[in-house]
Amino acid sequence: MRRYFSSVIKKARSKRSSRSMIARSKERDSGLRPLIAIVDDDRSVREALRSLFGSMGFQTELFARGQDFLNSPHMSETSCLILDVVMPGMDGLELQGQLAARRSIPIIFITGHADQNTCARALRAGAVSFLAKPFSEEVLLSALHSALEDGGGRAEGFL
């Protein structure tokens, strides 16, 4: 797993000069870069995703626990949430349920513990995508594009 995310970081660093069309168009429309919040208990995953999204022109905020995100002042400005399923304390599905009562944020689930029931629950509850680790950069960026452009209207699961 670490080897995969190391390669993501290397790819992201090589793309620093090019910015995503999505990020540029959102920045142009609102004057701000979209904020992607990443909630995952694995620090290497958080850092790899920060590097990838940063190289594409996005702002990122990192959280090791779901409760940290809920207590964050960044929740109200988050454009998309990248969320792990299995974490200590509040898991990703619990966080998704808590958010449903507060604010609609497009959610992309990522997990190393994928099963069809969990995927179905997440998608039924409104997740944009459900991605099993390891996933390709292209699949993740496609899910992010869907979340930002469609507001999360199209649900996809990849087990």
For residue 83, give the CATH number of its domain.
3.40.50.2300
Is 95's pLDDT higher than 60? yes
- Band of pLDDT at residue 113, cut at 50, 70 and 90: confident
Q: Is the pLDDT of residue 127 over 80?
A: yes
Q: Which residues contact residue 135 at a Cβ distance below 8 angstroms, ignoring those fewer than 6 apart?
A: 110, 158
131 vs 110: CA distance, rounded Å? 5
Does 153 or 83 have the greater pLDDT score? 83
**Residue 28's domain spans which residues?**
2-151
If DSSP states are collapsed to H, E and C, what string results for 126-142? Answer: CCCEEEECCCCHHHHHH
Q: Is residue 134 part of a domain?
A: yes
C-alpha pair distances (Å), 141 with each of 14, 36, 65, 89, 131 = 16, 12, 23, 28, 11
Count of CA atoms in the C-beta half-sphere (13 A) of 73: 0
Is 156 inside any structural domain? Answer: no
Q: Determine the average pLDDT of the residues in 122-135.
A: 94
**pLDDT for res 89:** 93
Name the residue type at position 15.
K
> pLDDT digits over 12-39, tens only?
444 433 344 444 444 434 457 899 999 9
Cis peptide bond upstream of 134, omega within 30: yes
For the stretch 35-84, pLDDT in tens is 999 999 999 999 999 999 999 999 999 999 999 999 999 999 999 999 99
Q: How many domains does the chain have?
A: 1
Whether the model clears a pTM of 0.95, i.e. scores above it, the answer is: no
Contact present, 58 and 96 (Cβ < 8 Å): no
pLDDT at 132: 94
Q: Percent of the chain, pLDDT > 70?
A: 74
First to last CA, the chain: 16
Q: Examine residue 159 and state whether it is found in any structural domain, yes or no.
A: no
Question: Strand, coil or helix: what is 79?
Answer: strand
Q: Is residue 157 part of a domain?
A: no
